[in-house]
């Protein structure tokens, strides 16, 4: 187990046992000098940030999930959110929801998207603070952010707006990740996603093996499967390269604040989920919930 988890070096998190980690995340903030806002000049944006900064013991967890495309970040984040009763806030969903509305921002946004431009940090952070305020008004507490922050600038802006307790960085060995990305198929009729990659890596040189079953479609979808045009080996490799290049500074940002927890996925969901709960000290939590149900 210990080999699977590597808390970042010289971090506040690394000095905590896994049993005290979550209690600490639930009950107090990482020490104030680590949590203090960046000394960089304030961002040029006018933000809507009337978000109250609550003491962590009076609220649920405020976590960020990082992980490259194909790692299953959305799946793990959404399962944890269900378990903890907190919202799973994916910035991709916020953009899609805004586009579907008829606000002035949605018109601005559809122009940007139609021209194939990148949605700016300013727009994303505005969508996010709008979402957090709406949640606050509904009495929501805590969240897991998925897909944000992607850049140091976004991380700095986020830090000015709200406290992040912990950043979970999901990792999967690259050969397996590549195979998984290349195994993605979509049903041309119902639009559901499947994965035909059957991963079976033997352990060698003291490294554990890994097996991940394919996610096969029902027979009526089987003959209609298509591969996305951008799921070629060259494109997937390039996508991963770009991801690593962009994500490293963000990881470093949180590592230096003692907030980064790295988790190497040991396999598919059935193998990884219990281990993830264990490192987050939530395995008892799940048992208690199912006992209470
Ligand atoms: Zn289908």
DSSP 39-53: -SPPPSS--------
Distance 48 CA to ligand 1 centre (A): 43
Of the residues 6, 79, 130, 239, only one is catalytic, namely 239
171 within 8 A of 265, measured Cβ to Cβ: yes
150 Cβ contact partners less than 8 Å away, ≥ 6 residues apart = 246, 247, 250
Q: Which tokens belong to 57?
A: 């013991």
Query: Domain containing 279: what range?
Result: 2-33+56-87+140-283
**pLDDT recorded at residue 218:** 95
Separation between Cα atoms, residue 80 and residue 198, nearest integer Å: 25
Separation between Cα atoms, residue 262 and residue 255, nearest integer Å: 10
Task: Give the distance from CA 233 to its chain's centroid.
Answer: 24
> What burial class does residue 57 get, using C-beta atoms within 10 Å of its C-beta: 0-12 exposed, 13-18 middle, 19+ buried?
exposed
239 has catalytic annotation: yes
**pLDDT recorded at residue 17:** 39
Of the residues 96, 228, 237, 241, only one is catalytic, namely 228
Of the residues 150, 153, 171, 173, only one is catalytic, namely 150
283 within 8 A of 274, measured Cβ to Cβ: yes
CATH code of residue 201: 3.40.50.300
Q: Which tokens belong to 106?
A: 């949605």
Residues surrounding ion ligand 1 at CB below 5 Å: 187, 189-190, 221
**pLDDT recorded at residue 138:** 92
pLDDT digits (tens, 9 = 90+) for 60-95: 999 999 998 888 899 999 999 999 999 999 988 999
Using 50 as the pLDDT threshold, list the residues of the chain that sit under it. 1-46
**pLDDT recorded at residue 118:** 81
Residue 101: inside a domain: no
Residue 127: inside a domain: no
Count: domains in the chain: 1
Residue 166: inside a domain: yes
Beta strands at 166-171 and 62-67: parallel, antiparallel or unpaired: parallel
**pLDDT recorded at residue 32:** 36
- Of the candidates 131, 123, 106, the one whose C-alpha atom is nearest the C-alpha of residue 51 is 131
Residue 225: inside a domain: yes
């Amino acid at each position: 187990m210990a080999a699977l988890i590597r808390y970042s070096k010289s971090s506040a998190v690394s000095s905590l046992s896994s049993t005290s980690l979550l209690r600490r995340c639930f009950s107090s903030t990482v020490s104030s000098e680590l949590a203090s806002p960046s000394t960089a000049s304030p961002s040029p944006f006018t933000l809507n940030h009337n978000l109250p900064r609550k003491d962590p013991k009076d609220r649920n967890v405020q976590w960020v999930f990082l992980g490259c495309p194909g790692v299953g970040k959305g799946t793990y984040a959404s399962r944890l959110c269900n378990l903890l009763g907190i919202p799973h806030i994916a910035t991709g969903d916020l953009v899609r929801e805004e586009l579907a509305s008829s606000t002035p921002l949605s018109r601005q946004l559809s122009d940007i998207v139609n021209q194939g431009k990148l949605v700016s940090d300013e727009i994303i952070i505005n969508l996010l603070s709008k979402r957090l305020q709406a949640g606050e008004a509904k009495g929501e507490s805590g969240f897991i952010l998925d897909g944000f922050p992607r850049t140091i600038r976004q991380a700095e802006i986020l830090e000015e707006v709200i406290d992040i307790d912990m950043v979970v960085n999901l990792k999967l060995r690259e050969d397996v990740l590549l195979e998984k990305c290349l195994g993605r198929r979509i049903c041309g009729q119902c639009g559901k996603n499947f994965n035909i990659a059957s991963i079976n890596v033997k352990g060698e040189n003291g490294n554990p093996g890994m097996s991940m079953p394919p996610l096969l479609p029902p027979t009526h979808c089987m003959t209609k499967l298509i591969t996305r045009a951008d799921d070629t080996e060259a494109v997937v490799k390039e996508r991963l390269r770009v991801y690593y290049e962009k994500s490293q500074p963000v990881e470093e940002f949180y590592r230096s604040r003692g907030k980064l927890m790295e988790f190497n996925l040991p396999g598919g969901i059935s193998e990884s989920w219990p281990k993830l709960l264990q490192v987050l000290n939530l395995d008892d939590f799940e048992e208690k919930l199912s006992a209470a149900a």
